[in-house]
Amino acid sequence: MTPAVLTPILDLLDIAGIAVFALSGAVLAARLRQTFVTMGFFALVTGVGGGTVRDLLIGAPVFWIGDAWVAAVCLATALIAWFTPVRWWEGKLFAYADGAGLAAYAVLGSAKALAYGVPPVPAALMGIITGCVGGIIRDVVAGRPSIIMQPELYVTAAALTAVLTVAGMIAAPLLGVPKEWVWGA
């Protein structure tokens, strides 16, 4: 079963999530003074890691394997990071990119899981996994403490976003509104 999951707004969230997560991976590699190959690897792993795990768990085709644009977006993001002065990546940009990707992917992961017939509670967990796992993989590969072990409300933010998405998608038909309104279409 391959339901049509992506509406135009979810398609936009998907690409935005991939790009900002890829940026957070590339920025970490830049901070670690790594080569372009490492930046590209970190961008790809961070950009697609959570969605890959989600797709494997729900029995969906892995989203980026059949779509060359996904890897291209990750590598283009790494290329932009490579040619940008390192001082631009200092400060809060890493946290902002990670937070924006987290929000986009928690919504997308929950919506896709529901579209594949996953019950509401596991669907919310798929949103959390989609939002968090790419960053966890990135941090483990970089040999640094995972973002989920930091004092920021990383997983809490993903959980809140995923639960609100699932609740909204359940409530939408009861209220007589399109499910697309849940994520701002």
What's the pLDDT score for residue 13?
A: 72
Domain boundaries, the chain: 8-183
Confidence of residue 41 (pLDDT cuts 50, 70, 90): very high
User: Two tokens at 163?
Assistant: 């639960």
Chain Cα centroid distance, residue 18:
6
58-93 tens-digit pLDDT: 999 998 998 888 999 999 999 999 998 877 767 777
105-149 tens-digit pLDDT: 888 899 889 989 999 999 999 999 998 898 899 999 999 888 777
- 51 vs 36, 78, 128, 167, 171, CA distance in Å? 23, 19, 10, 21, 25
- 21 vs 169, 176, 179, 181, CA distance in Å? 25, 34, 26, 25
For 171, how many CA atoms within 13 A lie in the half-sphere containing its CB? 9
Q: Which residue has the higher pLDDT, 184 or 175?
A: 175
Which of 134, 117, 133, 131 is CA-nearest to residue 160? 131
User: Two tokens at 6?
Assistant: 């992506």
Rounded to a whole number of angstroms, the distance between the first and last alpha carbons of the chain is: 25
What's the pLDDT score for residue 185?
A: 43
Lowest mean pLDDT among 26-30, 67-71, 152-156, 171-175: 152-156
